[in-house]
Amino acid sequence: MEIGADAIQIFNQSPRMWRPTKYTDADFERFREAMDASPLQSVVIHAIYLINPASDDPELREKSLNALVHALRVGDAIGADGVVLHPGSLVGKDRAVALDLANELIGEALAETDSCRLLLENNAGSQAKLGLTPEELGSMLEHADGNPRLGICLDSCHLFSSGYDIRTAEGTKTVVDEVESYCGKDRLRCIHLNDSKTPLGSRQDRHENIGEGEIGDEGLAAFLSEPRFAGLPVLLETPGPDKKGPDSNEISRARALAP
């Protein structure tokens, strides 16, 4: 509220530790009451970075499942619009094997939880990662037999780094057409709005502040002009002026680019 946001993304625990934060029903009730009393329209959880659904290491796999289930249960309890998840890393495995492993773990997590959506985020282009293209994300949704809880989060920096030139309305339209074709019309549920420190197709995940990177103000404005983004939470993951995340000026600058 202090920085003028109308949508927020949070971690449900430390993003670089396995130990889950323990909450009570009273904690959840206070959170929901605070949200209802605020101008905030959406809260999204980002799953912790340690999770790798494509791992074949038994210990890491168990920890990943438990952490993802915990995030989804917290999402249910606070009324989150979804839990954003990086689809996984190959770690030297064949891509098809990694996909099978990731699909299995995601299916287990959905089966052990109730209603919160799980949103697969497109990765930044490294061939060591899953979820590089709408087609690959669509194959993961297809494996889940059309489970309506599984959706997509699109990250502008990741798209650009993967070689998708979203600096024009036509370029963005092409990407969203692919998402609808491979994933379905109602699967896109969330947008991460980030500029990119590195050039088009660099395959590097390096976020930059709004308008200060290779996409730029005009490119991000073209990206946001996509009509199918209307009504979706748009979340900033930019470094911010002091490397502490976006502030009110960053939010105002992003909002000014929207149609």
Which residues are designated catalytic?
A: 16, 46, 49, 86, 121, 155, 158, 192, 205, 207, 237
Q: Which residue has the tokens 């790798």?
A: 52
* Terminal-to-terminal C-alpha distance of the chain: 22
Q: And the tokens for 248?
A: 């009110």
| Nearest of 233, 235, 241 to residue 254 by alpha carbon | 235
Give residues with Cβ within 8 angstroms of 96, minimum separation 6.
none
| Nearest of 123, 117, 84, 87 to residue 105 by alpha carbon | 87
CB 5 within 8 A of CB 231: no
Give residues with Cβ within 8 angstroms of 36, minimum separation 6.
none
CA-angle at 152, arms to 195 and 142, nearest 5°: 145
